[in-house]
Chains A and B, each alone.
Chain A
């Protein structure tokens, strides 16, 4: 067997758990898009949106945004909230991705999801060229599963033989899963509590529809004011 095939096989096998996750989640998001967004040709839009943003939570939020014609500035801010965690992933990959071609690097960055990131950081192939080939294949597999899941869901959409009422809970569940995993790390617990608390307070004051932007402002203000307590880097310096 050639080296290329070995790497391809390894990337594919490692991506199998993601196949399960992405196709099932994507399918649910696709079904929602066709059933609740009120647009024609949901399959086409499902394909385009899943191909370009590759973000689970975003794919679910899109349905609501499209149905309500949410202003684009709000969309931009909400996308930022949803995906700000991606901005942290790259820091650990900078050295790995140094010196590779522009388009390869572009694709690796573009396709960086939670799951792909986790698998890429676990890859221990020492030779750089092979390591990058592995990452590219893995990213491509994961990306494909997501697109196929979402598009298939949108096409099956209304034809499903059972009622999909309540399927939107998949998005809430996704947030709860990410949150649970983040809270395994002690350092994340207080920030999560502040975020949830700020959201609760702003929901009472502004109502559910207008709570997100005030919540963001409130929590960032708290974070800046309490940096001495919350920032581990700062704490060490003071000690």
Chain B
């Protein structure tokens, strides 16, 4: 597949799946049917679980892409993560948490690591 064809299919897949997820409740209730309780339950618990999994995945990728000894054995990632979580608990402002955490991380990997 050419790059252009791949990118168009990528857009179709990502936009399609995202739209279907967003429309899911409306599609179900449009016909007047009730959501099966098991679907509602899985949806509820899957949401935090999937995000936790993706966060774990990000860290796994950091350790896959470079030797364990780099960045002080993951101290850069750990400190930046603590900054993000701490700020979010304290200030409840996603932008501040993300910008500060990323800045701390960039500082570590560029100036120290």
Stretch at the interface among A126-134, A152-160, A162-170: A162-170
Asked whether A90 lies within 8 Å of B17 as measured between CB atoms, the reply is: no
- Tell me the A36-78 residues at the B interface (CB within 8 Å): 39, 45, 48-49, 52-55, 57-58, 62, 65-66, 69, 72, 75-76
Asked whether A177 lies within 8 Å of B23 as measured between CB atoms, the reply is: no
Q: Given A182-B48, A216-B50 in contact, is the A176-B84 Cβ separation under 8 Å?
A: yes
Asked whether A166 lies within 8 Å of B48 as measured between CB atoms, the reply is: no
Q: Write out, one digit per residue, whether chain A residues 169-190 have a CB within 8 A of any chain B CB (1) or not (0).
A: 1111111111111110001110
Q: Which of A167, A169, A211 has its CB near the most chain B CB atoms (within 10 A)?
A: A169
Asked whether A87 lies within 8 Å of B53 as measured between CB atoms, the reply is: no
Asked whether A75 lies within 8 Å of B10 as measured between CB atoms, the reply is: yes
Q: Which residues of B contact A (CB under 8 A)?
A: 3, 6-7, 9-11, 13-15, 17-19, 21-26, 29, 35, 37-38, 40-61, 63-64, 77, 80-81, 84-85, 88-89, 92, 94-95, 97-99, 101-102, 105-110
In-complex Cβ contact of A199 among B57, B63, B99 (8 A): B57
| Bound CA span A153–B22, Å | 26
Q: Given A86-B18, A172-B81 in contact, is the A192-B49 Cβ separation under 8 Å?
A: yes
In-complex Cβ contact of A219 among B46, B77, B85 (8 A): B46
In-complex Cβ contact of B51 among A164, A175, A207 (8 A): A175
**In the complex, chain A residues whose CB is within 8 Å of the CB of B37:** 231, 233-234
Give min CB distance, B40 to chain A, whole Å.
8
Asked whether B48 lies within 8 Å of A179 as measured between CB atoms, the reply is: yes
In-complex Cβ contact of A167 among B13, B22, B61, B106 (8 A): B106
Asked whether A215 lies within 8 Å of B98 as measured between CB atoms, the reply is: no
| Bound CA span A233–B43, Å | 13
Q: Is A4 an interface residue (CB 8 A)?
A: no
| Bound CA span A227–B89, Å | 29
| Main DSSP-derived SS at the A contact region | helix
| Bound CA span A161–B61, Å | 27
What is the chain A residue whose CB lies nearest that of B99? A24
What is the chain A residue whose CB lies nearest that of B39? A87
**Tally of contact residues, A, Cβ under 8 A:** 92
| Bound CA span A32–B97, Å | 19
| Bound CA span A224–B39, Å | 10
| Bound CA span A172–B6, Å | 26
What is the chain B residue whose CB lies nearest that of A64? B61
Give min CB distance, B72 to chain A, whole Å.
14
Asked whether B41 lies within 8 Å of A87 as measured between CB atoms, the reply is: no
Q: Given A94-B29, A180-B85, A223-B45 in contact, is the A82-B6 Cβ separation under 8 Å?
A: no
Asked whether A87 lies within 8 Å of B24 as measured between CB atoms, the reply is: yes
